[in-house]
Amino acid sequence: MDAAANYSDEHIRTLDWKEHIRRRPGMYIGKLGDGTSSDDGIYILIKEVLDNSIDEYMMGFGKSIEVTIAGDVVTIRDYGRGVPLGKLADVASKMNTGAKYDSKAFKKSVGLNGVGIKAVNALSSEFTIRSVRDGEARSVDFSAGEELADRSESGVQEKNGTTIRFVADRSVFGDYAYNFDYVEAMIRNYCYLNAGLVIKLNGQSFVSKNGLLDLLNEQMAEEPLYPPIHLSGPDIEVAITHGSGYGETYFSFVNGQHTTQGGTHQAAFREAIAKTIREFYRKDYDASDIRTSIIAAISIKVEEPMFESQTKTKLGSKDMGPDGPTVRNFVVDFLKEQLDNYLHKNPETADALNRKIVENEKERKAISGVQKKAREMAKKVSLNNKKLRDCRIHLTDKNERAEQTMIFITEGNSASGSITKSRDVNTQAVFSLRGKPLNSYGLTKKVVYENEEFNLLQAALNIEEDMDNLRYNKVIIATDADVDGMHIRLLMMTFFLQFFPDVIRQGHLFVLQTPLFRVRNKKETVYCYSEEEKEKAIARLGANPEITRFKGLGEISADEFKEFIGENMRLEKVRLTKDDPIHDMLEFYMGKNSYERQGFIIDNLRIEADYIDEAI
């Protein structure tokens, strides 16, 4: 009999809590990652610890939190009540153990499942939890979830609170490093949602006085069309304005948790905005005309929230609490009253908003004919679209692998052919560009429908109507590592910045890093992404290795491409923040000021030449 068919009692295993977490970390913290992406697991570990400290603040205990990151050592100290000393080891090492099952201790908390810091403990090579309560203290040390030491102290002079120190286990996460930009963004969000709370990161203090209003002012990369509308009430706070670009931008939160994928509260907010504004102006405006260019934030507090995963990025709750209204009714009713009142009291803002809606309506109607023809063309060619080699799973599918879906936007048939032959057909799609795309800077959205390449790309991504319909989690620009490839990359970034900035804001746009060199001898092959990596590879492989300089993606074989678009894929996320002068950058690099750019290039070539002369 085949050994595989011999299925008996000894094949059934029960894993203990820490072994299960270490074997299946994705169930608890999402993906692992190396720290180059804001949703990598090492940041989720910080968040899980911070959530507990934030919950203490929300219950009225402790006004400050200290976060220290030194190399790979993270320490988080709050000044709340401190974990009850008798249960200190349990809250860090026994699953489904915590105070948040008892609504008397924590009414509107993020962490309800008793999992968070257990996952941090299990995935850390070093983990210490220490609690101080009224002069008594207890500390428990762990490694990979295994308890190492337990000690108690009396007569300590420290303030009450909890300290957690951990080192993310490199045997699980591999080589990683913390990007302080991501940590700072996380901390800023906590402060926006908890006005008055002070969080110190390596000694630097962060605090917000105006909540979501501060968030909106900090995040906007452009001047708003009208001063942001800031409204708050019991268990809800919103801030709203409009910019001049396309798309919709939302920052949504539940109980202090940044729900990057939205959920029932964000859907209710979008509905409520359209409903309230229609009733205020007594006009049946199209919802897309109302919401195009909106920049808004919403925060609600829910009893016993239900999230769609342990990483809590999307709210699934239908109700505000066991005895409360539905999330939809709560948000709609709040905006119907408060936003309507605000617009009546602020006629200048109401006029500016109305002008924006009318402007959006005019543009939409102006392109409606072109849009209809473009849709028909996209539908016809989608059945036999030679530009798109689609994958079998999409982000819109309810599939556990959907988060792994991606589409590569390539230049030319040879590059797309190599990627197509080496890709994972389940999760990796390929879209082939024909030559250089149009420079779309300064053009209206009409060009998206008139230009065949843009229209087919939009149809492939499925983002014309709503970003929620995006078919791939990662949109990856894959171009040659030369001047032409860089130009195509910039043209594609301009397209997204101009017409679909939400693809960037929501963290979906990436650039594929492909190797410049292959260094190999008879025993080993090393792919190098820079001159520095090439020199290190030459030194390691010894005398006279074979060195190949890749000129384009098309000359990399399909077998080799598997190395670059599989587990070892290097991606650089395209990010958009307030500090990025997008309009000025696009105007200078992609605008019609050729004379200024020419002078800039010449001046910098002179500087480079002088630098080389000095070096010689």
What is the distance between the alpha carbons of residues 475 and 479, in angstroms, rounded to a whole number? Answer: 13
State percent of the chain over pLDDT 90.
33
What is the distance between the alpha carbons of residues 142 and 166, in angstroms, rounded to a whole number? Answer: 9
**Within a 10 A sphere around the Cβ of 229, how many other Cβ atoms?**
20
DSSP structure string for 438-452: P--TT--THHHHHSH
pLDDT value, residue 116: 81
Q: What are the start-end ranges of the H helices in 473-593?
A: 483-499, 501-505, 531-541, 558-564, 582-590
**Within a 10 A sphere around the Cβ of 207, how many other Cβ atoms?**
17
Q: Among residues 203, 204, 116, 129, which one has the least CA distance to residue 166?
A: 129
Hey, is 169 helix, strand or coil? coil
Q: Are 297 and 238 in contact (CB under 8 A)?
A: yes
Asked whether the predicted pLDDT for residue 244 surpasses 60, the reply is: yes
CATH code for the domain defined by 368-514+554-580? 3.40.50.670
At 429-455, the pLDDT tens digits run: 999 888 788 888 877 888 888 888 888
Give 284's pLDDT tier (boundaries 50, 70, 90): very high
Burial 267-302 (b: 16+ CB within 10 A, else e): bbbbebbbbbbbebbeeebeeebbbbbbbbbbbbbb
Cα-based distances in Å from 194 to 55, 64, 230, 260: 10, 11, 15, 18
pLDDT value, residue 386: 67
558: number of CA atoms within 13 Å, CB side?
A: 10
| DSSP tag of 4 | G
Q: Are 547 and 515 in contact (CB under 8 A)?
A: no
| DSSP tag of 12 | -
If one compares 373 and 83, the residue with the highest pLDDT of the two is 83
What is the distance between the alpha carbons of residues 591 and 443, in angstroms, rounded to a whole number? Answer: 11
At 327-339, the pLDDT tens digits run: 888 899 999 999 9
Q: Among residues 53, 52, 92, 46, which one has the least CA distance to residue 73?
A: 46
**What is the rounded radius of gyration, in angstroms, for the C-alpha atoms of the chain?**
27
Class of the domain covering 212-366: alpha beta
What is the distance between the alpha carbons of residues 268 and 330, in angstroms, rounded to a whole number? Answer: 9
Asked whether the predicted pLDDT for residue 292 surpasses 70, the reply is: yes
| Phi, psi (rounded to 5 degrees) for 529 | -105, 0
Multiple choice CATH, 17-206, 3.30.365.10, 3.30.565.10, 1.25.40.10, 3.30.450.40? 3.30.565.10
Asked whether the predicted pLDDT for residue 97 surpasses 60, the reply is: no
Give 150's pLDDT tier (boundaries 50, 70, 90): very high
What is the distance between the alpha carbons of residues 301 and 308, in angstroms, rounded to a whole number? Answer: 17
Task: State both tokens at 142.
Answer: 């762990």
Residue the block writes with tokens 């006005």: 195
Asked whether the predicted pLDDT for residue 105 surpasses 50, the reply is: no
Task: State both tokens at 275.
Answer: 């409903």
Cα-based distances in Å from 571 to 34, 260, 354, 563, 567: 11, 20, 41, 13, 11
- Rounded to two decimals, what is the model's pTM? 0.69
